[in-house]
Amino acid sequence: MAERIIIFDTTLRDGEQSPGASMNREEKLRLARQLEKLKVDVIEAGFPVASQGDFEAVSLIAREVRGLTVAALARTQKADLDRAWAAVKEAADPRIHVFIATSPLHLKYKLRKSKEDVLELIREGVGYARRYTSNIEFSAEDASRSEIPFLAKALRTAIKAGARTLNVPDTVGYALPNEFGERIRILREKVQSPPEVIWSVHCHNDLGLAVANSLAALDNGARQVEVTVNGIGERAGNTSLEELVMALHTRKDRIPYVTAIDRRQIVPTSRLVSRITGLVVPANKAIVGSNAFAHESGIHQDGVLKKRSTYEIMTPQDVGLDQNLLVLGKHSGRHAFQERVRELGYALSPADLERVFERFKDLADKKKEVVNEDIEALIGDEVLRIPDTYKLVYLNVISGNVAVPTATVQIEVGGEIFQKAGFGVGPIDATFNTINKIIRTKAKLLSFAVNAITGGMDAQGQVNVRVEEEGLAVLGKGSDPDIITASAKAYLNALNRLEYLKKNPIKKLR
């Protein structure tokens, strides 16, 4: 019988550390609920000591999401551990995830501590966490560049202090599959952990080897893999959940392991993460990219038409691609719409449902086909966002190859309507310039990206912008069948986020 692998999802913690991918509390809860539907085993909900917002998000997830383990990250310091436990203590199965670096490089330049100091911090930190719970995971940061004798001693120390999961991270994506697998094997031989201790790995993708390194670790005794949806995370990201899970499923002839993941939820989860973070999934991304099951070559098309398995090693249905069919249109009523929202996993208040339904009816008048992705984009615009200081009331843009791009914009600020007109080098530039004139912001546009939410000429456009002001960088998102309107919504969403952060500053760890 195939052995069961524990899927530890850190999209809400390490994934959120992708530049520009920060999430608010409501977005984190929505994603946590989707991860529960995906049937991951563990959610690392955040780093509670990092900010009040992160603490509140972890606490909310711990209370609301019941079908899995909820973990909180903490350093070996008592303040971190107290904060982590306060955040997760109401979870159905709370876990404290304790970490400290063990590589010579980190000891010398980051921690500025000796090996003996680090061993004592592990003893004290894990032992202190053990007062709260027996579900403790210990991570040796930068383990792939740590000296094996000291790393083994650090892991033994963690076990003696009370850790029951040992995590070996390839923190900077430095390892190669054969050496990483060998490192896991040697460590297990040297540490001689009790049978109940689970070995885990957390691999980064700096050399594009995170999934390969994780698979090599499984072959050498690891039984938990730390992953993120779409592989997002610091720098080049983390082990991709969907790639790891589908590798195990597709090649079970050579990789005799199983997971509890509901594979039909892979694509919906991927799209939700992309929508919340604004990080667009590349078309050629394995498993969830738009080209993953597309065939342009005539030879490939001919083969697939005759027998899909000639050029497809898995089916679109395997990962949930059969769930985006047309369901609703302009003649649909509230009851049908409410049922579709419920099927998508959203529990909206009557007021929120009414707002989204009105937006849906407007969209259905413009689009012939309204699909799940459209509905989720509307929910994201109307519900899963911070309170608006600035609201778009009216937008009219004149542009063309013989006209000076001109935008007229009305914005509601504190119940009062302001209107101005402005020019630009293009229609979107004119729109942004006019918004700036009304709000008098000094924000700078760092990036602008537009993506079609669905296929077809009448697809909704989703616009993601990043803006920066006085050292604060935020992501703004907006969707609309009209790209210029979507751009205005995204820009105002970013400015609203800036305003929110000014009033609710996040304290960052140094």
pLDDT in tens, 251-271: 999 999 999 999 999 998 998
Does the CA dihedral 176-177-179-185 come out positive or negative?
A: positive
Instruction: Map residue 248 onto helix, strand or coil.
Output: helix
Q: How confident is the model at residue 305 (pLDDT cuts 50, 70, 90)?
A: low
**Among candidate residues 285, 280, 305, 282, the one with its CA nearest the CA of residue 295:** 305
The pTM of the full predicted model, rounded to 2 decimals, is 0.80
Cα–Cα distance, 276 to 280 (Å, whole number): 10
**Among candidate residues 97, 238, 78, 232, the one with its CA nearest the CA of residue 167:** 97
Instruction: Map residue 476 onto helix, strand or coil.
Output: strand
Length of the chain in residues, anyone? 510
Say if residue 165's pLDDT is above 60: yes
Model pLDDT, residue 326:
39
Model pLDDT, residue 361:
86
Domains of the chain: 3-277 (3.20.20.70), 293-320 (no CATH), 334-382 (no CATH), 390-503 (3.30.160.270)
C-alpha Rg value of the chain to the nearest Å: 24
More confidently predicted of 75 and 276: 75
Say if residue 343's pLDDT is above 80: no
More confidently predicted of 137 and 452: 137
Provide, rounded to the nearest whole percent, the portion of the chain with pLDDT above 90: 62
Say if residue 457's pLDDT is above 70: no
CB atoms under 10 Å from CB of 336, counted, come to 13
Residues ≥6 apart with Cβ < 8 Å to 238: 10, 14, 15, 202, 203, 204, 205, 210, 226, 227, 228, 231, 232
DSSP 8-state assignment for residue 291: T
Kindly report the three-state secondary structure assignment for every residue of 94-116: EEEEEEEECCHHHHHHHHCCCHH
More confidently predicted of 12 and 442: 12
Cα–Cα distance, 444 to 209 (Å, whole number): 36
Say if residue 156's pLDDT is above 60: yes
Q: What is the pLDDT of residues 220-251, one digit of tens each?
A: 999 999 999 999 999 999 999 999 999 999 99
Model pLDDT, residue 348:
82
Model pLDDT, residue 323:
44
Judge whether 55 and 25 are in contact, CB under 8 Å: no
CB atoms under 10 Å from CB of 357, counted, come to 20
Model pLDDT, residue 310:
77
Cα–Cα distance, 285 to 281 (Å, whole number): 7
Q: What is the pLDDT of residues 193-217, one digit of tens each?
A: 999 999 999 999 999 999 999 999 9
Instruction: Map residue 464 onto helix, strand or coil.
Output: strand
pLDDT, average across residues 134-159: 98
> H helices of 171-254, where?
177-191, 210-218, 241-250
Say if residue 71's pLDDT is above 90: yes
